Amino acid sequence: MAVYNETVMEHFMNPHNVGEIENADGKGTYGSPVCGDMMQITIKVDENEKITDAKFKTFGCGSAIASSSMATDMIIGMSVEEALELSNKKIVEELGGLPAAKIHCSVLAEHAIKSAIYDYAMKNGKEYAGLEGYDPNAEEDHHHDDIEEE
Ligand code: FES
């Protein structure tokens, strides 16, 4: 059985920033190509391009809940550009580690944040280096191709 550290357990049992922001400035959804689980992130961005609020909803496992709880905590107060640099590795580090088989769950959080920022950028005509070549729709479709039934 996978062993979770106290920080991960704490965020899983009492997750922060659960829900959906009404009239969000950016909303992104990402489906994991590994497990098929889904993550939605909504963000509020002020006129200085600073993230003032972030919330998540997920059909993901405990590690996905802990990762998004931590990741949303981390991006609140960051500029959009700083949030784009948040890798799943940094989220895992901040959680004090995840079992190897659960690393992909933290990728859900990273990608859903990117896709929420992408939505914000599209709506506001903004361009960010961190979004270059990013296509949220192409990535969401991956998991449909991965399922091979014989
Ligand atoms: Fe799917 Fe963790 S197993 S998000």
11, 65 Cβ separation under 8 angstroms: yes
> Residue 59: is its pLDDT beyond 50?
yes
What is the band of 146 on the pLDDT scale with cuts at 50, 70, 90?
Answer: very low
**Sheet containing 26-31, strands listed edge to edge, beginning at the edge strand earlier in sequence:** 26-31, 38-45, 51-59
Residues across the chain: 150
Q: Looking at residues 71-100, what average pLDDT do you find?
A: 97
| Ligand 1 centroid to residue 64 C-alpha, Å | 6
pTM, 2 dp: 0.89
Distance (Å, whole) CA 126 – CA 117: 10
| Distance of CA 60 from the midpoint of ligand 1 (Å) | 5
- For residues 148 and 72, give the distance between their C-alpha atoms in angstroms, rounded to a whole number: 34
Torsion sign, CA atoms 69, 72, 77, 83? positive
Which among 72, 63, 66, 144 is positioned nearest to 112, based on CA atoms?
72
Q: How far is ligand 1, taken at its centre, from the CA of residue 83, in Å?
A: 22
Interval 92-137: pLDDT, tens:
999 999 999 999 999 999 999 999 999 999 999 999 999 988 888 7
Give, for ligand 1, the residue of 105, 107, 146 to mutate: max count of ligand atoms closer than 8 Å to Cβ: 105
* Residues having CB within 6 Å of any atom of ligand 1: 32, 35, 37, 60-61, 63-64, 105, 108
